[in-house]
Structure 1
Amino acid sequence: MLSRFKKRWNEPFGYRDVLNVGLPLVVSLGSTTAMEFTDRIFLSNYSLISIAAALPAAMVNLVFLLFAMGISSYSSVFIAQYYGACKCEKVGSVVWQAIYFCCFAWVLIASLVFVAEPFFAFIGHAPEVQKEEVTYFSILTLGTGFAIIANAIGCFFTGLGQTRPNMVVNIIAVVINIPLDYMLINGVGIFPEMGITGAALATVSSWAMQLIMYAWLVFTPKNDATFLVKRAWRFNASLFFRMMRFGIPSGVNSFFDVFAFTVFIMVVGRLGEVELAASNIVLSINSLAFLPVVGLHIAASILVGQAMGRKDAAQARMAAHSVLHVALLWMGTFGALFLLFPYELTALFRPEAISVEEFATIQSMCRILLAYVALFCIQDAIALIFFGSLKGAGDTMYVMWAIALCATFCLGVPVIVARFVFDAGLHTLWALLIVYVCILSVTAFTRFRSGKWEQIQMLEHEAS
Structure 2
Amino acid sequence: MVVSQSAFALMVFTDRLFMSRIDALHIASALGGGVTFFVTISLFQGVISYATALAAQYMGAGQLAKCPRVVTQGVIMAAACQPLLLLLGWQAANLFEWMGHAPAQVALERQYFFVLLAGSFLALTKTCIASYFSGIARTRVVMISDVLGVLVNIPLTYALIFGVMGLPALGIQGAALGTVIATGFSVAVYALFYFNRVHRRRFSVMDSFHYDRGILQRYVRLGLPSGMEVFVGAATFNLFLLLFQSYGVNEGAAMAIVFNWDMLNYVPLIGMNIAVTSMIGRYVGAGDMTRTNHVISAAFLLAFGYSILLGTFFIVLREQLMNVFATPGEDFSTIVTLGSQMMIGLATYVLADAAILIASGVLRGAGDTRWLMITSMLIHVLMLVFQVYIIKVLAFGPMASWWAFVATLLALAAIYLWRLLGSRWRSPERLARVMAE
- TM-score under structure 1 normalisation? 0.91
Alignment deviations for residues 381-422 of structure 1 (CA, whole Å, 9 cap, x no partner): 00110011000000000000110001001x111001111111
2:349 aligned residue? 376
What is the match of residue 252 of structure 2?
Answer: 276
Matched, 1:313 2:284: no
Q: What amino acid is aligned across from residue 167 of structure 2 in structure 1?
A: F
Gaps of 5+ in 1: 1-24
Structure 1 position 189, deviation (Å)? 2.5
Distance 2:379 2:197 in 1: 46
Which residue in the other structure is 2:406 paired with? Answer: 434
Q: What whole-Å deviation, never above 9, does each CA across 1:315-336 have from its counterpart, x for those lacking one?
A: 1222122111111111111101
Supply the distance in 1 between the matched residues of 2:239 and 2:434 (Cα, whole angstroms).
37
Ranges in structure 2 where 5+ consecutive residues have no aligned partner:
none
Q: Counterparts of 2:436 and 2:264 in 1: how far apart (Å)?
A: 41
C-alpha distance 296-192 of structure 1, shift in aligned 2 (>3 A) = same
Q: What is residue 21 of structure 1 aligned with on the other side? A: none
Please name the residue that 1:147 is paired with.
Answer: 123
Which residue does 1:348 correspond to in 2?
324
Displacement, 1:353?
4.2
Q: 1:69 to 1:200 in 2, by over 3 A?
A: same
Per-residue CA deviations over 1:103-150 (Å, capped at 9, x if unaligned) read: 123332233443355332212100000000110111111112111101
2:369 is aligned with 1:396: yes
Measured in 2, the distance between the counterparts of 1:75 and 1:248 equals 12
Between the aligned residues of both structures, percent identity stands at 29
Q: 2: CA distance between counterparts of 1:215 and 1:199?
A: 25
Q: Which whole-Å CA distance do the structure 1 matches of 2:224 and 2:58 have between them?
A: 19
After TM superposition, the score normalised by the length of structure 2 is 0.96
* Corresponding residue number in structure 2 for 1:8: none
Secondary structure of the 1:148 match is: helix
Deviation (angstroms), 1:63: 1.1
Q: Is the 8 A contact 1:93 1:228 kept in 2?
A: no
Specify which of 231, 234, 242 is matched with residue 255 of structure 1: 231
Query: Do 1:81 and 1:308's aligned partners in 2 also have CA atoms closer than 8 Å?
Result: yes
* Counterpart among 387, 392, 406 of residue 420 in structure 1: 392
Distance, in Å, in 2 between the alignment partners of 1:143 and 1:393 is 32
Asked whether the equivalents of residues 38 and 234 of structure 2 are also in contact (C-alpha less than 8 Å), the reply is yes
**C-alpha contact 1:335 1:375 (8 A) present in aligned 2:** yes
- Equivalences for 1:195-274 in 2 at 5 Å? 195-274=171-250
Select the residue among 406, 412, 421 that pairs with 2:379: 406
CA distance in 1, matches of 2:13, 2:415: 30
Query: Which whole-Å CA distance do the structure 2 matches of 1:459 and 1:374 have between them?
Result: 37
**For 1:100 and 1:269, how far apart are their aligned partners in 2?**
37
Aligned residues: 434
* 1:37 and 2:13 are equivalent in the alignment: yes
Secondary structure at the aligned position of 2:241 is classed as helix
Please tell me the residue identity of whatever aligns with 1:372.
G
* Cα distance change of structure 1 residues 279 and 82 upon mapping to structure 2, 3 Å threshold: same
SS at match of 1:314: coil
3-state SS in 1 of match to 2:209: coil
Q: 2: distance between equivalents of 1:423 and 1:37?
A: 31
CA distance in 2, matches of 1:341, 1:101: 45
- Return the letter of the residue paired with 1:461: A
C-alpha spacing 1:113/1:65, structure 2 compared with 1 (3 Å):
closer
Cα-Cα RMSD? 1.4
- Secondary structure (helix, strand or coil) at the match of 2:94 reads helix
